[in-house]
Amino acid sequence: MKHLLLLRHAEAEAAPPGSKDSDRPLTAPGRLEAADAAQCLARTGLTIDSILASPVRRTRETVAILLARLSLSVPPLYEASLYLATADTLLRSINACDAATQTVLLVAHNPGISELLQQFSGGARQSALGTGGLCHLIFRQATWGDLATPTHVEMLR
């Protein structure tokens, strides 16, 4: 079985005029959201084997909080293609994971991450992820390249 954890980055500050969207830091409430997401991840009891994330500041800060709170030693893989990626692009990145990997955490952005969740949950609109939103999906497939309908979908946060 494969476990996929989808996490939308925590709340970020608005971009000041003339600044880049990719440089937006987390807000104080966003840092609390990331800490809460870490607690939710800890309660699952899962061992995270791989972390895929967008390379922008708000996702890096979200991941840094998770790493610190969970004492994870897994080096995150920051992929430029995940920044504001479509659901299809996110899925391609997941599909490329090594078959030996059992649990993948994907930290990305809306609308793509919510659209991916909606694809896996049969288009259910209530499965949209808010900032710091976290979902756990379980698949029976042996490899990441052949993911189909999950056997379990649970909103953790």
Prediction pTM value? 0.95
Alpha carbon distance 27, 13 (integer Å): 5
Alpha carbon distance 85, 89 (integer Å): 6
- What confidence category does residue 126 fall into, taking pLDDT thresholds of 50, 70 and 90? low
What ranges do the domains of the chain cover?
Answer: 2-10+24-155
Q: Which CATH class is domain 2-10+24-155?
A: alpha beta
Alpha carbon distance 85, 146 (integer Å): 20
- Residue range 24-73, pLDDT digits in tens: 999 999 999 999 999 999 999 999 999 999 999 999 999 999 999 999 98
Q: Of 98, 93, 105, which is closest to residue 3 (Cα–Cα)?
A: 105
Whether the predicted pLDDT of 134 surpasses 80? yes
- Residue range 82-101, pLDDT digits in tens: 999 999 999 999 999 999 99
